[in-house]
Structures are given as C-alpha cells and as structure tokens.
C-alpha cells in the first residue's frame, strides 16, 4: 500500500501540468474571444469604435418650410442615409428619405427636398440618421436610435 | 550535510521549472490582454471629433453687389487656433430657416475643394489673419442672397490620424444686404462718411466710397482697369485686386516657374499633393501609387480615390456579388466563390491523404498503397502509389509480411509460435541463398494453396515444419539440441531448391504464380525457364508428391520427409532434363 503511494509514483511533472494548463487557458480564451469578436463584427465599427457609439456624435440641423425639408450636417460624422419617421393621427411609419446623396451627407454638406407629398397629413416628423461602418463581412449600416433623431413639429 | 545540500539543489531545479511556467503564464496573459484590449476598445466611448473651444472667426467685412451678383467676404480668424478653411452656406429666401445653399462652388479663386473653401491642406489660416473670398453668383440662378453662414474647418490629429474637423460650434451668420457693405463693428453709415473699399490691392488700392444720403454704403468703383476675374494678363496690373499680377494670378491660366500649388484632390491618399509650374503651365498632379481614379482596392484602409470615403465606406466598393459564381480549390478542397471572389461553402471535400488497404507483398518486400488526395484544376484529385513498408531482403515476403511461405501461412493460422516463426525468418535470411529461396518459393506457393484447400494435411506437415524450426534454432545456437528431420530437410532439401532456383529468372516469386503471369522472354531466347518450372510445380503435381510420400511413410515423419525429398528430386531432375533438351 505504501509503495503505491510513494513519491516515485506521483502524477505528471509540474512543468507539463503548467504547460497543459496554459495551453487550455489560451485555447479557451481564444474560442471565447473569437465568439465575442463575431458578435462585435455583426454590428460593425466606425472610426475605431462600435458604430452605435458614433450616434451621439452625429450633429445635424433640419428645417421644414413650405414643403421643403432642409438638412445640413454640422458635425464630423457623415450621415449615410436618413430615415424619416412620419407621425400621423394614430399611426406612424418610417421610410427612407429618398434622393439622399448617394455617398451620404458629409461634413458641412446640405440637402434639400420637397417632401410635402410624402408626409401628407403628418403632424410631426423625426429624422433618424443611418451610419455606415465596416465589419468583418464588409460594409454595414446602422440606424441610430430615435433619441438621436431630429424632431420637427409640422 | 552533503545529502542536505543535494536535496537543496534538487529543490532549486524544481524552482526553475516553475519559473518557466510563470514566464509562459505571464506571456500568455499579456498576449491575451492585448487581444482582448483591441476588441474591447471598440466598445469604449471616445470623445467625438470636435474643434477646440478657442476656434473663432468673424466676417470682418462683406460687400454684396446685387447688380454684378458678386459677394466679397473678408473673414478674420479671431480665435486662438489655426484654421484650414471654412464651409459657407447661404439662404436666398427671407423666411428660410436653414442656410443650405452651398456657395463654395461660386468662389472665384481655386480654393474650393469639394464643398469646402480650403486655403491649404495645413492649418495655415493663423489667428489674426484675414482672408478675402469673392463669390461670383452671376450664373448661379440663386437670386438674391439673404444671409450667409460660415463654419470654420481645420485639420486635427486624432489617434495618430489627421482628420478633417468641422467646427460647428464656431459657426457665424451674417445677414447680407443687397448693395450693402458691412464693416467691422456694424454696417450702418452716416451720409457723407468715407471709407476704404474692401479690396485694396492692385488697381483697387486707395479706392474709397462715400455713404449715400440713404445712409447705405454704395458699391465700390474700382476704376476701368478693374476686372472681377483677371483676364488681362499682360498689362502688368493686378486687375482683380487679389495681390497677383498677370501670370502670377492663377486666373491667367499660367504660372510662375517652379511655383507650387495644391492639387484639386486633397483627401485620402491625395492629401498634401502639389503641382509645380513648369514652362508656364501647371504640371499634372501625381497623387502617388495608391491613387485610384475609382476606388477598386477596398481593403487597404486608404481612401484611394480621394473622395473622402475609405474602402467599404466608398460606394465604388459596393458591388453586387453573385453567390456560387464559380468554384476552385482552397486548402485541399473545392469551394464555391461568389463573383466578388469571396469564398463561400465547401462544394466538395477531397479527403485527406493516407494509407489504404492492408500490407501486401510486392517484389519480395512488404508494401502498402498510399492514396494522395488533393485539389487541382478546380476538382478533387487522387493518386495511389505503393509505398514500401518493410524490406524483406533475401527471405522474401508472404501474406503481407516478411517471411517464408509455408511458415508464414502456419504462423498466420496460429500453428506456429512467435518464437518458431522468428527462427524461420532469422535462419532463412542468413542461410538461404537467393536461388534456394526462389526454388523453395516455387514449391511452397502451390503447397500453401493445397493447404488452404485441404486443411487436414496441415496435421501431416506441421510436425515436419516444427522439426525444421527446431533444427534452425539449433544451427543458430539458440537451442542445445538439433532435430534429425530438420537436419535432413536442410541438408538435402536446400540443394534441391537451389537447383530449381537457378532456373528461375523472375525475382518476384509471387508474380511467378500469378494466373495471368507470362514470362516476357521466350524460353528459346532465355536460359531461364520460369514458365517451365511453373508448369511442373502445379498444385496437382505437388499434391501427388505429398500423398505418395505419405502413403509410403508407414506413419514415420522421417520416412515421410525422406520420401517427399525423393519425389522432389525426381521433379527437379525432370525439369533439368527438359531444360537441357530445350537449350
């Protein structure tokens, strides 16, 4: 019985145990990292940070007068597209703002369009910016939350 | 004491291993930290790109001549930071809330860089500096301008990259009065009041205007030599009052030798590019190797076409990709690719290379087939080659193993022990001549075929074979006593096999007994008589030899051995006489 428990018959050496432990930690760490990275890439990045974190930095002004909607980008985040949330009596709908510049509205650029027919009997519109970033799968757009939109009471 | 010291040293050795462990642990922890940091960094909010608070400009003066539809603005940097230029927008209706009309397209100088009035690609508009911009609105179709709005811009360093920043907080607005002149600290005047005109260079020098009875500043009269844009380029006058005379003025289309100016494109890889005046004309802009007229390199993190959009942000990189457009080899398998060359699903798995089947004998050695699988010319390929597993040398191969034929058969069937079989291999490889082995194989192969058909005869053969292995062990010095039957076989049998062996040409004895085997040499052209030997050592003939020897053995193994060798000798003599006859 004692022979079976003698020091000569103990398990693997500490070095091998340590190496195995490190290898397992690295492998598991990599798997977890790649999984999380995949999630991040789904959302995409812009200017080196998650694209949704750029929404608070978007700075634009808009006005609606005589059926003409005017938008000017005063900030430093290009606005790739613009969603138009139209509020009518008891309902609302969200559409793309048509004829938006193909390359987006860059810094200092402005946009004007007659949208009278589009908003019809609306009493309020909210302009919600859509940004574009890059992800592992290529180009990725992201629609900012409504709180970053621009509200115009008509 | 010495033993204590040894123990101490041993413990030290163990400590070294732990140190290595720690080093590995710390290294891997650092590497993982860096990787995780890079990822998590994208989730950390950073401050938005904004100009410093001290950025400020104001419209020092403007003059707007409704008649000639010309707007002149003198902008002063009254802030604490250098600037690069500005955005300018205007309204053309009094009730227009937002200034959305871009006036940069109408500036008479070449400072318009894609919607921005850019004096330079560096922040050279220093605090205290003034810049005059003249906008020609004649053919703009805008009508009367009611107000302008100016936002300064500058280049800022952000995380090691130079970025173009719009200073929205420093926006200035100015109501524009048609025919009016606004000077610093207001724009009203008193009748008869005199002031210098906005333009004071060239032919405009010392020009003045007098406040009208309506208490408005009239348009300046700069004289007959004044030109809104310098078109007279040989009168040695600065006609448009911009400080440049004749060919010095870019309006004249010529330039001063070796003068440089910024190229039209000033974003992305074109940033800072300049053109030089050579022989009175501006050289073509060289935007460098990374420049592309249309962005086609969409993965280099560069704005190659200098439109302000990098890679995937650029619409040029947007292409409709057709799935499953074609397929080709990748990493040993066939994969589908879309029309944008992006790899999709695996179309066909070509498998991995490796051995297939079991060992077999070929050319007296042990071989096994190796299948090489891969992908070539867009399809899976495979090729099989035999690879030698074991070289049997003189002893030859049997049943996929090195060893003599009958003993291998008996060993594979479990009749011979490992030790007995090993003795056969050892003796065979050291004491059998190549000829003796070839002759033995000629006899043994049909013999094994008979054994397989009639397993009952194994009972008669097995004592003999065991006797041979016993004698072999004795002759190899592995046993103290020999065996009489074994000795008889080795002494008399081996010479007989040698006599047959010299007649056989084919070194691969297995081929010799292949049903489709034909010696390529005619027996009349060769001194070797493979086919003849094969025809004598038929299964029927050997069976006949065996049963004849058995019948005459009277139950004695030694007599049976003797009879068998006698019958074998007769066949050998017959073969030899036939060979002599033919020869």
Which long-range contacts does B227-235 make (Cβ < 8 Å, 24+ apart)? B228/B68, B228/B70, B228/B108, B228/B134, B228/B136, B229/B108, B229/B136
DSSP H stretches of helix in B232-278: none
CA gap B30, B10 in Å, rounded: 31
- Nearest of B399, B426, B394 to residue B410 by alpha carbon: B399
CA gap B188, B25 in Å, rounded: 78
Phi, psi of A89 (to 5 degrees): -60, 110
CB B474 within 8 A of CB B410: no
Q: Which residues of chain A are under the pLDDT cut of 70?
A: 1-11, 37-42, 136
| pLDDT value at residue A130 | 93
- Nearest of B223, B243, B248 to residue B233 by alpha carbon: B248
| Chain A residues touching residue B100 (CB < 8 angstroms) | 70-72, 110-112
A112: nearest CB among B28, B46, B100:
B100
Q: Which of B166, B172, B317 to mutate to test the interface with A (most CBs of A within 10 A)?
A: B166
Nearest CA in chain B to A50: B42
- Nearest of B211, B164, B166, B165 to residue B192 by alpha carbon: B211
Query: Is B95 in Cβ contact with A65 (below 8 Å)?
Result: yes
| Chain B residues touching residue A134 (CB < 8 angstroms) | 311-313
CB atoms within 10 A of CB B198: 22
CA gap B579, B575 in Å, rounded: 6
Side-chain half-sphere of B13: how many Cα atoms within 13 Å? Answer: 7
The residues pairing with A92 across neighbouring beta strands, listed in sequence order, are A87
**Distances from the Cα of B38 to the Cα of A52, B33, B41, B42, angstroms:** 17, 9, 5, 7
Q: Which of B21, B266, B295, B307 to mutate to test the interface with A (most CBs of A within 10 A)?
A: B21
| Chain B residues touching residue A74 (CB < 8 angstroms) | 151, 166, 168, 171
Nearest CA in chain B to A59: B168
Query: Is A74 in Cβ contact with B315 (below 8 Å)?
Result: no
Residue B313 C-alpha, separation from nearest chain A C-alpha, in angstroms: 7
CA gap B75, B91 in Å, rounded: 19
What is the residue whose two structure tokens read 């920043």? B165
CB B232 within 8 A of CB B245: no
Query: Is A72 in Cβ contact with B43 (below 8 Å)?
Result: no
CB B532 within 8 A of CB B575: yes
Give the mean pLDDT per block of 10 residues along chain B (583 residues).
Answer: 48 58 81 81 77 85 79 87 90 80 84 78 84 84 84 84 83 76 50 78 84 74 77 80 74 68 83 79 82 84 86 75 84 85 84 82 78 87 85 66 76 84 82 81 82 85 88 89 89 88 65 49 43 77 88 87 90 80 54
- Nearest of B356, B355, B365, B517 to residue B442 by alpha carbon: B517
Nearest CA in chain A to B86: A108
Read off the tokens for B165. 């920043």
Check residue A23 and report its DSSP letter: H
- Nearest of A56, A37, A44 to residue B40 by alpha carbon: A37
Query: Is B43 in Cβ contact with A49 (below 8 Å)?
Result: yes
Which parts of B37-142 are beta strand (E)? Answer: 57-65, 70-77, 85-91, 101-102, 117-118, 130-136
- The number of residues making up chain A comes to 154
Query: Is A36 in Cβ contact with B39 (below 8 Å)?
Result: yes
Region for residue B294 given its phi and psi (left: phi exceeds 0; alpha: psi -120 to 50; beta: otherwise): beta
- The number of residues making up chain B comes to 583
CB atoms within 10 A of CB B214: 10
B166: nearest CB among A14, A71, A108:
A108
B98: nearest CB among A33, A61, A102:
A61
Side-chain half-sphere of A145: how many Cα atoms within 13 Å? Answer: 6
Rg (Cα) of chain B, in Å, rounded? 52
Residue A77 C-alpha, separation from nearest chain B C-alpha, in angstroms: 8
| Chain A residues touching residue B46 (CB < 8 angstroms) | 48-49, 53
Nearest CA in chain B to A106: B308
CA gap B177, B145 in Å, rounded: 8
Query: Is B313 in Cβ contact with A49 (below 8 Å)?
Result: no
CA gap B204, B225 in Å, rounded: 9
CA gap B149, B59 in Å, rounded: 10
| Chain A residues touching residue B320 (CB < 8 angstroms) | none
CA gap B213, B72 in Å, rounded: 23
* CA dihedral sign, ordered B103, B108, B110, B111: negative
- Nearest of B319, B528, B312 to residue B435 by alpha carbon: B528
B42: nearest CB among A49, A56, A62:
A49
Query: Is A70 in Cβ contact with B312 (below 8 Å)?
Result: no
- Nearest of A93, A86, A85, A87 to residue A130 by alpha carbon: A85
CA gap B483, B475 in Å, rounded: 10
| pLDDT value at residue B116 | 84
**Distances from the Cα of B149 to the Cα of A65, A79, B70, B92, angstroms:** 18, 21, 17, 12
- Nearest of A89, A87, A90, A71 to residue A130 by alpha carbon: A71
CB B332 within 8 A of CB B346: no
Residue A24 C-alpha, separation from nearest chain B C-alpha, in angstroms: 11
Query: Is B21 in Cβ contact with A22 (below 8 Å)?
Result: yes
| Chain A residues touching residue B294 (CB < 8 angstroms) | none
CB B51 within 8 A of CB B156: yes
B312: nearest CB among A40, A112, A134:
A134
CB B452 within 8 A of CB B412: no
Read off the tokens for B280. 């009175």
ipTM given for this complex: 0.70
Phi, psi of B272 (to 5 degrees): 85, 0
Phi, psi of B514 (to 5 degrees): -75, 135
- Nearest of B135, B215, B144, B146 to residue B175 by alpha carbon: B146
| Chain B residues touching residue A33 (CB < 8 angstroms) | 32, 35-36, 39
Query: Is B48 in Cβ contact with A110 (below 8 Å)?
Result: no
Check residue B298 and report its DSSP letter: -
Query: Is A72 in Cβ contact with B99 (below 8 Å)?
Result: yes
* CA dihedral sign, ordered B385, B391, B395, B401: negative
Three-state secondary structure call for residue A109 = coil
A102: nearest CB among B24, B95, B315:
B315
Q: Which of A35, A39, A76 to mutate to test the interface with B (most CBs of B within 10 A)?
A: A76
């Amino acid at each position: 019985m004692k022979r079976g428990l003698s020091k000569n018959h103990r398990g693997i050496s500490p070095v091998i145990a340590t190496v195995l432990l490190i290898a397992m930690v690295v492998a598991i760490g990599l798997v977890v990292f790649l999984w999380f990275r995949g999630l991040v890439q789904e959302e995409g990045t812009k200017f080196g940070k998650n694209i949704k974190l750029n929404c608070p930095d978007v700075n634009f002004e808009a006005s609606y007068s005589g059926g003409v909607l005017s938008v000017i980008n005063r900030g430093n985040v290009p606005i790739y597209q613009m969603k138009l949330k139209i509020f009518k009596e008891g309902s609302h709908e969200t559409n793309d703002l048509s004829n938006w510049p193909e390359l987006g509205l860059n810094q200092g650029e402005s946009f004007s369009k007659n949208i009278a027919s589009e908003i019809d009997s609306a009493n309020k519109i909210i302009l919600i910016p859509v940004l574009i970033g890059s992800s592992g799968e290529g180009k990725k757009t992201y629609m900012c939350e409504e709180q970053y939109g621009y509200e115009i009471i008509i | 004491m010495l033993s204590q010291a040894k123990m101490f040293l041993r413990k030290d050795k163990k400590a070294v291993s732990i140190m290595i462990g720690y080093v590995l642990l710390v290294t891997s922890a650092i590497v993982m930290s860096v990787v995780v940091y890079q990822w998590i960094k994208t989730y950390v909010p950073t401050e938005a790109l904004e100009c410093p608070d001290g950025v400020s400009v104001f419209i020092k003066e403007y003059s707007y001549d409704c008649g000639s539809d010309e707007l002149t603005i003198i902008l002063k940097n009254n802030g604490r930071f250098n600037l690069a230029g500005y955005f300018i927008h205007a309204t053309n209706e009094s009730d227009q809330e937002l200034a959305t009309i871009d006036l940069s397209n109408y500036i008479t100088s070449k400072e318009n860089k894609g919607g921005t009035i850019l004096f330079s690609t560096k922040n050279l508009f220093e605090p205290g500096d003034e810049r005059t911009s003249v906008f020609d609105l004649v053919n703009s179709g805008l009508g009367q301008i009611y107000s302008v709005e100016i936002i300064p811009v500058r280049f800022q360093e952000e995380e090691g990259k130079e970025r173009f920043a719009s200073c929205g907080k420093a926006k200035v607005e100015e109501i524009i009065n048609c025919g009016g002149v606004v000077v610093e600290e207001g724009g009203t005047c008193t009748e008869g009041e005199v002031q210098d005109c906005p333009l004071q260079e060239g032919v405009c020098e010392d020009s003045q205007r007098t406040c009208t009875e309506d208490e408005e500043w009239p348009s300046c009269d700069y004289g007959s030599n004044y030109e809104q844009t310098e078109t007279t380029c040989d009168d040695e006058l600065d006609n448009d009052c911009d400080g440049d005379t004749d060919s010095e003025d870019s309006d004249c289309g010529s330039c001063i030798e070796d003068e440089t100016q910024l190229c039209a494109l000033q974003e992305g890889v074109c940033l800072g590019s300049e053109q030089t005046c050579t022989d009175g004309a501006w050289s073509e802009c060289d935007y460098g190797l990374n420049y592309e007229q249309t962005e086609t390199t969409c993965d280099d993190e560069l704005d190659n076409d200098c439109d302000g959009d990098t890679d995937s942000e650029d619409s040029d990189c947007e292409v409709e990709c057709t799935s499953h457009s074609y397929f080709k080899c990748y990493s040993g398998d066939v994969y589908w690719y879309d029309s944008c060359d992006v790899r999709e699903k695996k179309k066909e798995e070509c498998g991995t290379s490796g051995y297939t089947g079991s060992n077999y004998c070929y050319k007296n050695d042990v071989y096994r087939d190796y299948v090489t699988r891969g992908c070539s010319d867009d399809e899976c390929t495979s090729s099989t080659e035999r690879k030698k597993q074991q070289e049997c040398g003189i002893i030859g191969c049997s049943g996929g193993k090195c060893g003599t034929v009958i003993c291998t058969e008996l060993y594979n069937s479990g009749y011979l022990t490992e030790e007995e079989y090993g003795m056969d291999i050892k003796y065979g490889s050291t004491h059998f001549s190549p000829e003796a082995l070839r002759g033995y194989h000629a006899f043994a192969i049909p013999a094994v075929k008979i054994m397989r058909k009639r397993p009952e005869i194994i009972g008669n053969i097995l004592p003999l074979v065991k006797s041979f292995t016993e004698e072999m062990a004795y002759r190899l010095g592995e046993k103290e006593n020999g065996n009489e039957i074994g000795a008889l076989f080795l002494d008399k049998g081996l010479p007989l096999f040698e006599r047959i062996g010299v007649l056989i040409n084919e070194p691969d004895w297995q081929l010799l007994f292949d049903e489709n085997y034909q010696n390529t040499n005619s027996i009349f052209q060769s001194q070797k008589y493979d086919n003849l030997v094969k025809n004598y050592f038929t299964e029927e003939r050997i069976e006949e030899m065996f049963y004849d020897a058995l019948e005459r053995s009277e139950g004695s193994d030694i007599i049976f051995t003797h009879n068998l060798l006698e019958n074998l000798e007769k066949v050998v003599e017959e073969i030899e006489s036939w060979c002599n006859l033919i020869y």
